[in-house]
Structure 1
Amino acid sequence: MNFDKVGKTYPPQKYEIGLEKVKEYARAIDDDNPLYVDEEQAKKSKYGSIIAPPTFAVVYQKDSVGQALFDSELDINLPMLVHGEQEFVFHRVVKPHDVIWSTAKVKDMFEKDNKEFLLIEVESRLGSPDGEPVCTGIYTFIIRKF
């Protein structure tokens, strides 16, 4: 891995939240919360419409995080990479038709466990077109060295 690339940022990526995508995602994770799948019930809620499940953030962050993972300048051995963990800080709910802009940054890269493993942390900041924060995600990936 090229440790000189810590701090590198990537161009913003746009994602429009689709109603059917939110419903499909909720079904895929077996979550039948009416806020995610029932338009009539969701309209009666304090949100006034369907909202996306919190973990839907992985869907609208994937393009920005992917830019870092597939960046040839980082020299990541992708076949040896596994997803270690992720954490999110949510600033507001996401609804269908919201437009989300995400920007990724290589937050850190370091060696672990007697240099047998390399770790890379990618931070993804998401906001609305007017700059309102939506979500911040931190992804940690583990790369085993030969």
Structure 2
Amino acid sequence: MPITDAHVGRTYPATAPYPVTAGKIAEFADALGDDSPAYRGPDAVAPPTFAIVVALAAWDGLFADPELDIKLSRLIHGDQRFDYARPLRAGDEVVSTLSIDKVRARGNSAFITVSASVDTTAGEHVCTSTSTLVHTWPEEASA
């Protein structure tokens, strides 16, 4: 049975702790082509989209849930938003917890809104990453 609005509110276990290092921040900034000095050195802050590194790990629970029948090959990432309480910084150790916030079924497609809370291992909330995913099934699955 594909994902439905009955799955709204489902939350998956937190990811393993992820150490945010100055080196990882610099690598991410390099991949973006951003040479801002804020992203360099021992006191580096992470670019705003860096949180996706941790949030994506939380998506594994969603993809591994056999009840939802979600296949990565049938998924489009439609929208992304980050709401910060404070920037991620070198030295932070964070985990992410994913929740299903909204599901809208349309024919053989579902528009799925998920949020991943990114928090320090000490329990401080850093940000929430909210994504809209569009998933399709073969026509016979929606009948």
Please classify the TM superposition score into its range, dividing by the shorter chain length.
0.7 to 0.9
Separation in structure 1 between the aligned mates of residue 79 and residue 60 of structure 2, nearest angstrom: 15
Cα deviation, residue 117, structure 1: 2.5
Aligned to 2:116: 124
Separation in structure 2 between the aligned mates of residue 73 and residue 18 of structure 1, nearest angstrom: 36
Structure 1 residues 134, 98: closer, same or farther in 2, change over 3 A?
Answer: same
Q: CA RMSD in A?
A: 1.6
Aligned to 2:12: 10
Where 1:72 maps in the other structure, the secondary structure is: coil
Cα deviation, residue 69, structure 1: 2.8
Aligned to 1:94: 88
Any gaps of 5 or more consecutive residues in structure 1?
A: 44-48
Cα deviation, residue 66, structure 1: 2.5
Cα deviation, residue 72, structure 1: 1.7
Aligned to 1:56: 50
Q: Deviations over 1:38-86 (max 9, x none)?
A: x2xxx7xxxxx11111110111211112221332221124321111111
Aligned positions, number? 135
Cα deviation, residue 24, structure 1: 0.6
Amino acid at match of 2:127: C
Any gaps of 5 or more consecutive residues in structure 2?
A: 139-143
Contact 2:3 2:110 in 1 (8 A): no
Structure 1 residues 68, 60: closer, same or farther in 2, change over 3 A?
Answer: same
TM-score between both structures, scaled by the size of structure 1: 0.84
Aligned to 1:46: none
Q: 2:24 aligns with which of 16, 21, 26?
A: 21
Runs of 4+ displaced beyond 6 Å: none
Structure 1 residues 140, 90: closer, same or farther in 2, change over 3 A?
Answer: same
Aligned to 2:34: 31
Aligned to 1:141: 133
Q: 1:107 aligns with which of 101, 121, 126?
A: 101
